[in-house]
Amino acid sequence: MAPAGSAIGAGVGLDAVLPSLRAVRSSTHHRDTDHRPPICERGSLDGPIVTADSIPEPVAEGGRPGGAQNLGPDYVVFDPSVLAGLVNGDQEKIARLGRKFIDTTRASVEQMLEAVREGDHERVGRLAHSLKSAAATVGAPGLASANEELEAACERGEADVVGPLVTTIAARAESVARELLGTLGEKPW
Amino acid sequence: MVIDEAAGREHEFARLGVLVVDDDEFMLEVVRELLTGLGVSEVRSASDAENALALIDSTTESTDVIVFDLNMYGMHGTELMRQLASRHFAGGIVLMSGSSEQLLTLAVELGRDLGLRVLASLRKPVELAQLRTALESAAADRHLRGSNG
C-alpha cells in the first residue's frame, strides 16, 4: 500500500511546481490522474501542418513586447553537430531521431494551435515545455528559446502573446524540419 | 588498460536493466538510443509513471535503474518517487528535467529523504557523458551486490 503522500499535477513550470515540491515532503495524499492531452497521430513527413486560417498573426522577428527575441546574423536554425554528437555520429540513429523529432514536433505544434483556439494556455505551456527540451536536444536553439518564452508567457498568464508566439514557433519548427531533412538528404516535402 | 576499463564498463552496462519513463515521445526515444549506445542491452520504457509502476509490479526482471522525467503530466515524478519508496525500490534513480537546477536539487533531496538511491539529476537536454557517469554508479552497485551475493 502506498504511503500517504502528495502528487503534483500537470504544472510544468517552476512557479507551479516548486511550492508543491516543497509541500510534498510532508503532505497528504492526492493522486492526480487528470486528463492527459490527446496524442496526435498526425505529423508525417509529407507536409506542413500550419494552415493560414487557423493561426494568429506571427510575432514580428526582431522583437516584441513579450514576444520573440532578436534574430541576428548568428541566429542558428539547426546545428546538426548537436544531434550527431549525442549519438556519436551514428547516421542511422540521427536519421531515426531526426524523423521522430519532426513528427512529434509537428504533432505538438498542431496541439498547441488547437489549445490556443480553445484558450487552454496551461496545455500550451506544457507542450512548450516539452518542445523546448526536444528542440535543444536536436540542436535547434531558436526553436528552443521561443518555446522557453512561450512557457514563461503561459505561466505569467500573458494571453496576448501566447497566440503570436505559437505562430512563431510553428514557422520555426518548419524551418528546422526543412534543414533537418536536408541534412538527412531528403526533400522537405 | 584504458581499453580494458572501457570494455569492462560496457560489459557491466550490458547487464543493467534500465527503465526509462517520459511522457514526451521524442525524449523517450532519445534516452533509449543513448542507453543502447552506451551498451545497455535491456532498456524498457514507459510513457507515464502509472505505466512504469505497472511494469515494475508485473515483471520479475530486475530494474537496476529508473531514468525518469520529473515534469510528467498526470502522476508527477515526485509522486513516482513516493510510490517507488513505498515499494522499497532498491535500484538507482536518475532524474531528468527541463526546468531549473533548483527544482532538480529539491527533487534530489526529496528522493533521498524517501530513502531512494538518487544517482544523478540531469537537466535537459541530456548529455551522453552525464548519463554514462550515472550508469557507472549503478554498474558499480550491481557489481558490489554481485560480489556480496
Residue A87 Cα to chain centre, angstroms = 22
B108, B82 Cβ separation under 8 angstroms: no
B125 touches chain A (CB under 8 A): yes
B66, B93 Cβ separation under 8 angstroms: yes
Q: Which of B23, B37, B98 sits opposite A88 (nearest CB)?
A: B37
Interface contact flag, B74 A32, Cβ < 8 Å: yes
Interface contact flag, A130 B100, Cβ < 8 Å: no
**Residue B85 pLDDT:** 98
- How far, in Å, CA of A129 to CA of A134, rounded? 9
Q: What is the mean pLDDT of chain A?
A: 74
Least confident range from A72-76, A129-133, B7-11: namely: B7-11
Give per-residue pLDDT as tens, B58-85.
987 889 999 999 999 899 999 999 999 9
Helix (H, G, I), strand (E, B) or coil at B11: helix
Closest Cα of chain A to B1: distance in Å? 22
pTM of the predicted protein model: 0.77
Residues of B (126-145) whose Cβ lies below 8 Å from A: 126-128
Closest Cα of chain B to A30: distance in Å? 9
Give per-residue pLDDT as tens, B89-131.
999 999 999 988 999 999 999 999 999 999 999 999 999 999 9
- How far, in Å, CA of A68 to CA of A147, rounded? 10
Closest Cα of chain A to B83: distance in Å? 6
Q: Grid cell 529539491 — which residue?
A: B106
Neighbours of B110 (CB within 10 A): 21
Give per-residue pLDDT as tens, B30-48.
999 999 999 999 999 999 9
Over range A40-67, report the average pLDDT. Answer: 39
**Residue A75 pLDDT:** 79
Closest Cα of chain B to A31: distance in Å? 7
Least confident range from A16-20, A60-64, A104-108: namely: A60-64
**Residue A76 pLDDT:** 87
Q: Which of B26, B76, B103 sits opposite A7 (nearest CB)?
A: B76
Interface test with A, best of B28, B95, B99, B131 (most A CBs within 10 A): B99
Minimum CA–CA partner of A90 in chain B: B37
Interface contact flag, B73 A13, Cβ < 8 Å: no
For the purposes of burial, counting CB atoms within 10 Å of the CB of B44, is it exposed (0-12), middle (13-18) or buried (19 or more)? middle
Q: Show the domains of chain B with their CATH numbers.
A: 2-140 (3.40.50.2300)
* Residue A120 per-residue DSSP state: -
* Residue A63 per-residue DSSP state: -
Interface contact flag, B82 A3, Cβ < 8 Å: yes
A17 touches chain B (CB under 8 A): yes
**Residue A10 pLDDT:** 40
E-state strands within B30-91: 42-46, 65-69
**Residue B142 pLDDT:** 72
Domain segments of chain A as ranges = 1-34, 52-183
For the purposes of burial, counting CB atoms within 10 Å of the CB of B24, is it exposed (0-12), middle (13-18) or buried (19 or more)? buried
**Residue A19 pLDDT:** 54
- What's the CA angle centered on A78, arms A75 and A84, to 5 degrees? 135
Paired residues of B42 in beta bridges? B17
- How far, in Å, CA of A114 to CA of A109, rounded? 9
CATH fold group of domain A52-183: Four Helix Bundle (Hemerythrin (Met), subunit A) (1.20.120)
- What's the CA angle centered on A111, arms B126 and B51, to 5 degrees? 55
Which residues of chain A lie closer than 8 angstroms to B102, CB-CB? Answer: 14, 18
Q: Which grid coordinates belong to A124?
A: 500550451
Least confident range from A27-41, A50-64, B4-18: namely: A27-41
Render A124-164 in DSSP notation, one character per residue.
HHHHHHHHHHHHHHHT-HHHHHHHHHHHHHHHHT-HHHHHH
A72 touches chain B (CB under 8 A): no
Between A56 and A80, whose confidence is greater? A80
Q: Which residues contact A34 (CB under 8 A, 6 or more apart)?
A: A9, A10, B73, B74
Question: What is the pLDDT confidence band of residue A167, given thresholds at 50, 70 and 90?
Answer: very high
Q: What is the mean pLDDT of chain B?
A: 90
Q: Which of B79, B99, B107 sits opposite A31 (nearest CB)?
A: B79
In the predicted model, is pLDDT for residue A77 greater than 60?
yes
